[in-house]
Structure 1
Amino acid sequence: MYADAEVSLAILAKAPIPGRAKTRLIPALGPEGAARLHARLLRRTLAVACHALPSARITLWTALDPDHPLFLELAERHGIILRPQPEGDLGERMHRALALSGGPAMVIGSDCPVLSPSLLTACAGRLKNHDAVCLPAEDGGYGLIGVRHSDPRLFNDIAWGTGSVMAETRERLATLGWRLACPATVWDVDRPEDLRRWLEWAGRHPGEESAFR
């Protein structure tokens, strides 16, 4: 069952170019291996998203190479929208993606293997009676943020890539007077130490993993 069709989803992703994608995993996997893993995670993320939301409400915001064959393949397979990411830091790019949706919207990356259609649906549902929804990550960031309408103050001058992102975001939301829902805590595959956890998780969920490729 789809989530509320009024809610849009933006997915931010780099092209799987060796040496430029998943760079923190290169010491463990090498440039080619890190790029292949990034592509695998992105394929799964798109499949999960399209189980939760109508494809017409999903935009893949691309970076590094907007015409990369993987992006074109995913757009053709799923019927999603492709747009190049704008200039600016992560906060500016997320704000732009959310603001251009024209209504309630969520934004995610592509490296959270525990993201599921039911979790995306739950997050979309929270926006009916909350101003914002987040999936805090165990590393202090977040795996998803959604808003009824975007405000640049929510994203300006955040220490992106650090363990204080979620705490800073909570402070911004409190300053704005916005009601926040956090349906779950998640983890992502970003560092070499995350690989073992991901492999163990995939081993425990073989049917689920193969269903979203």
Structure 2
Amino acid sequence: MERNISESLLIIFTKNPEIGKVKTRLAVTTGNETALNIYKFLLQHTLSVTSNLNTDKWIYYSEEIPEKDIWPSEIFSKKLQQGEDLGEKMENAFREAFKHNYEKVIIIGSDLYDIVQNDLENAFLELEKNDFVIGPAKDGGYYLLGMKSLIPELFKNKKWSSSSVLSDTLKDLKNKKIKLLETRNDIDEFHDIKNEPAFSKFLN
């Protein structure tokens, strides 16, 4: 049984970094090898902005839990995503968190360069005052979702990876107290990185 050292939990969803299986929309332009290298770069960034966060942290892998990875086991608990689609996988992760009696739970992906530790600290602070926190993404989805109790409807009847995810989610929460964070740009396609200096080394 895992021991909670905090009332707050950060869940990080990640894909196993395998060539041809990550950043496939980006790979259309950059090629599979460059897309994989960019994803590994984003994983390192996610590690750097989450390692010192004063919460418990669970990493959820898409395919399998590798024997060796970049996430130190003394900081990050490793788990496997369970479910048919992204919604079901996220719902199951939140359900597991609340089963462990966490009071504030936030989920993020691992492909957001446009985020720092302070953003996550602020999200947890906002969750003390609100029922939900959401970080809108520029593409119409969200890069962060936080809650204090599970609402399964949030994860059903959504067209994941589409521009309607955020608006459909907000409809499910119309009577709840919500804090919308700053809009950020998650990395999915070439236009998301072409003007970002941090990615120029991958594109030359």
1:125 maps to amino acid: L
Cα deviations by residue, 1:152-210 (Å, 9 ceiling, x for unpaired): 11111111111011100100011xx211101211111110111213x33x38xxxxxxx
Residue 43 of structure 1 corresponds to 44
Residue 58 of structure 1 corresponds to 57
Residue 207 of structure 1 corresponds to none
2:86 to 72, 90, 93: 90
SS in 1 for 2:61: strand
1:92: how far off? 1.0
Residue 163 of structure 1 corresponds to 163
In structure 2, do the counterparts of structure 1 residues 68 and 140 end up closer, same or farther at CA, with 3 Å as the change threshold? farther
1:182 to 180, 183, 194: 180
1:1-213 correspondence runs (5 A): 5-54=6-55, 57-67=56-66, 69-70=68-69, 73-76=70-73, 79-102=75-98, 103=102, 104-174=104-174, 177-197=175-195, 199-200=196-197, 202=198
**Cα RMSD over matched residues?**
1.6
- Measure the CA separation in 2 of the matches of 1:154 and 1:37: 30
1:111: how far off? 1.1
Aligned residues: percent identity?
A: 28
Q: In 2, are the aligned partners of 1:43 and 1:74 still within 8 Å (CA)?
A: no
SS in 1 for 2:59: strand
Q: In 1, are the aligned partners of 2:132 and 2:178 still within 8 Å (CA)?
A: yes
- Measure the CA separation in 2 of the matches of 1:110 and 1:32: 18
2:162 maps to amino acid: T
Structure-1-length-normalised TM-score: 0.84
1:183 maps to amino acid: L
1:52: how far off? 2.3
- Measure the CA separation in 2 of the matches of 1:53 and 1:97: 20
1:61: how far off? 0.1
Report which of the two has the higher share of helix.
1
Structure 1, unaligned runs of 5 or more: 204-213
- Measure the CA separation in 2 of the matches of 1:68 and 1:22: 23
SS in 2 for 1:187: coil
Q: In 2, are the aligned partners of 1:105 and 1:148 still within 8 Å (CA)?
A: yes
1:64: how far off? 2.3
Q: In 2, are the aligned partners of 1:131 and 1:179 still within 8 Å (CA)?
A: yes
Structure 2, unaligned runs of 5 or more: 1-5, 200-204
- Measure the CA separation in 2 of the matches of 1:10 and 1:88: 18
SS in 2 for 1:51: coil
Cα deviations by residue, 1:2-40 (Å, 9 ceiling, x for unpaired): xxx422010001011000111111122211211111111
**Size of the alignment, in residue pairs?**
190
- Give runs of ≥4 in structure 1 deviating > 6 Å: none
2:87 maps to amino acid: G
